[in-house]
Amino acid sequence: MPMDRTELAQFLKRRRELLQPEDVGLPRGERRRTGGLRREEVAVLCHMSADYYTRLEQQRGAQPSEQMIASIAQGLHLSLDERDHLFRLTGRNSPSRGPGSAHISPGLLRILDRLTDTPAEIVTELGQTLRQTPLGAALTGDLTRFSGPARSIGYRWFTDPGTRRLYRSDDHPFLTRLWVSHLRQVATLRGPGSEAAHLVTLLLESNAEFRDTWSKHEVGLQPFEVKHFVHPRGGSLGVELSVTGGPESTAYAAGLHGGPWHGKLREAAAAVSDRFGFALTFIAPPPLFNTTTSSLVTGKAPFG
């Protein structure tokens, strides 16, 4: 299927013009002359360079990868139908829908974009972080930077020592059982040949701790109501969480309203936002907490 550069450029330009700063949590500003978002703003939301995005709108540049197209669809808050249309314009087949899809609905993105004072993220059922708020990135680090199997926190738990340092050491044994329990449930639900099954195979082949825990056949474990973090700048921090989720999407949010922790995280978030050029607000479903594609968890109170 050939790439339709003309239609692609017109579609991207139109969608950019329809998306308002308020839709993505950005200030409009007094000097804004464009009706919608600027190209550089869309580029940041899509996690790409402004030059690359500009070339697409100007009918130049190479065919985008599937990962890049999916990122553009999320950055522009496209619906599933619009996402599929975008894939076809770039000459690629559209991804599958339903369970396991990494696409975030525009409605959930709008909710996340307004959580400017809350650590929040949207993750897949495999714990792959898709979006984070600045405070979320300040709390856990930029979890969207990983690629391949390492996108899953359940995989990183057994392969990346840095992942465990974020959590209180007393909780490590239970979290090990939790990630394995959930991965077993998802692998059973999705079946052989699924991404979950592939992660299981990789970990069984490479990690003795995973093999030992897997052999116990535990399922149905639930996360702690209070999640304890060990922040590199703030020290020990516990957050009370509640989780709700629908059949397609979920969000994870930790409420840290006021108090010394909130101030520390805002300082760290400022550094995260400076890296992107302006304040960003992102969302992602909760890591391996249920078998939906994603879910909404709101924090009620901070604990020291």
Catalogue the E-assigned strands of the chain: 120-123, 129-132, 226-231, 235-244, 252-253, 296-303
What phi, psi does 188 have (nearest 5°)?
-70, -40
Q: How far apart are CA 78 and CA 102, in angstroms?
A: 13
- Collapse the DSSP code of 65 into the 3-class scheme (helix H, G, I; strand E, B; otherwise coil) and give the result: coil
Decide if 157 contacts 173 (C-beta within 8 A).
Answer: no
Q: Are 120 and 111 in contact (CB under 8 A)?
A: no
Amino acid found at 292 = T
Do 286 and 154 have their domain in common?
yes
Could you tell me if 264 and 123 lie in one domain?
yes
For residue 78, the enclosing domain spans 5-89
Is residue 229 classed as helix, strand or coil in its secondary structure? strand
Residue of higher predicted confidence among 113 and 70: 70
Calpha distance 269→282 (Å, rounded): 12
**Residue 98 within any structural domain of the chain:** no
Specify whether 74 is located in the same domain as 110. no
Q: Is residue 77 part of a domain?
A: yes
pTM, to two decimals? 0.66
- CATH code assigned at 265: 3.30.450
Measure the CA–CA gap between 16 and 92, rounded to whole angstroms: 21
pLDDT digits (tens, 9 = 90+) for 203-234: 999 999 999 999 999 998 988 777 788 877 76
The count of structural domains within the chain is: 2
Which stretch of 206-215, 252-261, 284-293 has the lowest confidence by average pLDDT?
284-293
* 124 shares a domain with 74: no
